[in-house]
Amino acid sequence: MSAALAAACAPLAAAGMLLAATPGHALGEEIPFADFARHTQYENVKISPAGDYLAATDVVKGKRVLSLIRLADMKGLNLSPHDNDEVADFWWIDTHRVVYSIQEKVGDLDVPLLTGELYAANADGSGRAIIAGVRDYGGFQGIAQVIGRVPGDSKRLLVQTTPWARESEHQFASAQMIDGSGSLQRLATAPMQRANFVADNHGDIRFAYADTDDLGVEVYYRADSSARWELLFDRSKAEAALRPIRFSRNDDSVYFACPGDSGVGGICRWNVETRTMQVLWSALEAEPDQLLDTLDGRDAFAIGSTPGRPQLTLLDKDAIEAKLLRALTQQFPGQDVRLGSSTADGRRVVVFVSSDRNPGEFYLLDVDQGKASFLLARQPWIRPERMAAMEPVKLAARDGLPLHGYLTRPAGKETAKNLPMIVLVHGGPYGIHDSWGYDPAVQMLASRGYAVLQVNFRGSSGYGAEFMRAGLREWGRAMQDDVTDATRWAVAEGIADARRVCIFGASYGGYAALEGAVREPDLYRCAIGYVGVYDLRMMQKRGDIPQTLFGKSYLSRALGDDQDDLYERSPVAHADRIKAKVMLVVGGSDLRVPEAQGKAMHAALNAQHIEHEWLYQRNEAHGFYNETHVTELFRSVMRFLDRSIGAAEIDGRR
């Protein structure tokens, strides 16, 4: 076995502790910043097809490993990859074999990066081998990603592979079938770049689709594995944006994400024989965000959406999965309940329960007995009863466009008025949106007495293609106005103290924070830019996005090409207008938004003799990862906020 294949299998010191929750802090104690900065202990848990083993991604001594537990006695081992490698995700294959993907810490970079490799091991730790990847492997060499599995076939996985090459954008992905030994069977080659595949219930690859640089979707189809690809839908030709999701039970129809009757979003069914599209469900406010599979993996039984809080619409009210969810929802009121992995016979199911205050808990459901037993908590040190509630809000932008967002007030202060408030702007900005659920940054801020307002401004995903397209070339214009309008709404409603409002964001959110301070100098008392973009001209030339033709085309459509206009909409151009106190947070190894962006804003502020705080971490990338660095980030942000807008009237601190 080569060094790259070596792995340390250490028995669990006390296997039963895998199921035990760590006690939280007493109610009167302040929650440490480190609790919000810690990585999730158990990211996922899945039951084996035979139901005799559990596998879970676990953090041991700061490294993510794969824990394999025998349910009969709750004993097992931790499978630890070699050196700087960590387990990223995993899939059961065959009765007692598991495939797992790897992420690696490269050089001094703190955040681990996916390597595109797949490994396999038996449940007892034996039989370990690399089955696809670029290191020490004589077969396929490239990037491999698991697509899913074929229903009824527990011995093989569908994977997507891309040959290893520096000019990866010129490589077309292929779909393969892989078994636990690494034997590959080529199923299809994509007809376009950056493709995703959809297989039918027999494992035949029937669809290939890809996002276009104009935020549309291009969809190819073939009738069977021997047929040629044909272009079926093309958003660039003014057709509706359609995205294939999965086949129905008999492979006679296909579920698509579609605009629906409302234009906001929906789920449609495409008839394979007649090639006609039927709308099954239309959103009123928010697009569907999930199509829930039946336990046997052959069909869908429900549609998930999040207009405010998560909601489910049942496609088959009599399905066993629907009955199980109805019972579980009563057992866990106010929380989002989802069915996860199950045994091959469907009699035991892993259930995931989460909420705005609960990072997530896993339960094992005995279907015959109707009993759910607690397995483990994702972040056992977090006590949900101490967290703050996230409330959906709605408002209208100045041009009448409906906006949705979330307001989080400190626990115990749910009806308080005139609070110091943080406007937290999400990154992206396209294809991203804030949603209801546990957010460590939001909870950290609320735990220190601050209200947190999040708004899904135009350009955000989740509210239809037109809403997202309304944000194109609106950086510093209508997108920024939406954030301003939401802030003024919170002040007018008496939620926020107009004298104590700060704007904070990462990536695009960092841009919005400083641009907000530029455009609204009397609205925000402070602004925090975290790995933000501050010079739009530089964004078109530096960073990983403009390094590809797709990225260049995307930036042109998203930002425009007029260099004078780009400069006019850049915070670096108008530092002289800023009255707010400023904090800049920069990652020295950021490839998406290079440190030069932060340094340019730093220089612009210095040129105007504007004092500001500067937090720089050389080894961090696009968002801090190292727990110590995140803890220091939270501590520094809180010191800055307390000095700038203070939470003293809320929590009694001075």
What is the C-alpha to C-alpha distance for residues 599 and 609, in angstroms, rounded to an integer? 15
**For residue 649, what pLDDT is reported?**
42
Does domain 388-648 correspond to CATH entry 3.40.50.1820? yes
**For residue 308, what pLDDT is reported?**
95
DSSP secondary structure, 564-609, as one string = HHHHHTSGGGGGGG--SEEEEEEETT-SSS-HHHHHHHHHHHHHTT
Sheet containing 390-396: give its strands across: 390-396, 402-408, 451-456, 419-425, 496-506, 526-530, 581-587, 612-617
Tens-digit pLDDT profile for residues 394-408: 999 999 999 999 999
Tens-digit pLDDT profile for residues 282-296: 999 999 999 999 999
Sheet containing 97-104: give its strands across: 85-93, 97-104, 113-122, 129-132
The two domains 1-189 and 388-648 share their CATH topology (first three levels equal): no
pLDDT < 70: residue spans in the chain? 1-28, 107-109, 134-141, 164-171, 213-215, 235-240, 647-654
Closest CA to 147 of 87, 215, 205: 205
Does domain 1-189 correspond to CATH entry 2.40.128.660? yes
Question: What is the percent of the chain where pLDDT is above 90?
Answer: 78
pTM (2 d.p.): 0.91
Task: Specify the 3-state DSSP secondary structure of 49.
Answer: coil
**For residue 8, what pLDDT is reported?**
33
First to last CA, the chain: 60
**337 vs 124, 193, 287, 363, CA distance in Å?**
31, 36, 19, 10
Q: Which tokens go with 327?
A: 């019972």
**Residues whose CB is less than 8 angstroms from the CB of residue 103 and which lie 6 or more positions away in sequence, other chains included:** 64, 85, 86, 87, 88, 112, 113, 114, 115
Which H/E stretch holds residue 479? Answer: helix 478-492
What is the C-alpha to C-alpha distance for residues 194 and 54, in angstroms, rounded to an integer? 34
């720089």: which residue's tokens?
Answer: 616
Specify the DSSP class assigned to residue 437: S
Q: Where are the domains of the chain?
A: 1-189, 388-648
**For residue 140, what pLDDT is reported?**
55
Backbone angles phi, psi at 197, to 5 degrees: -115, 155
Q: Calculate the CA 212 to chain-centre distance.
A: 20
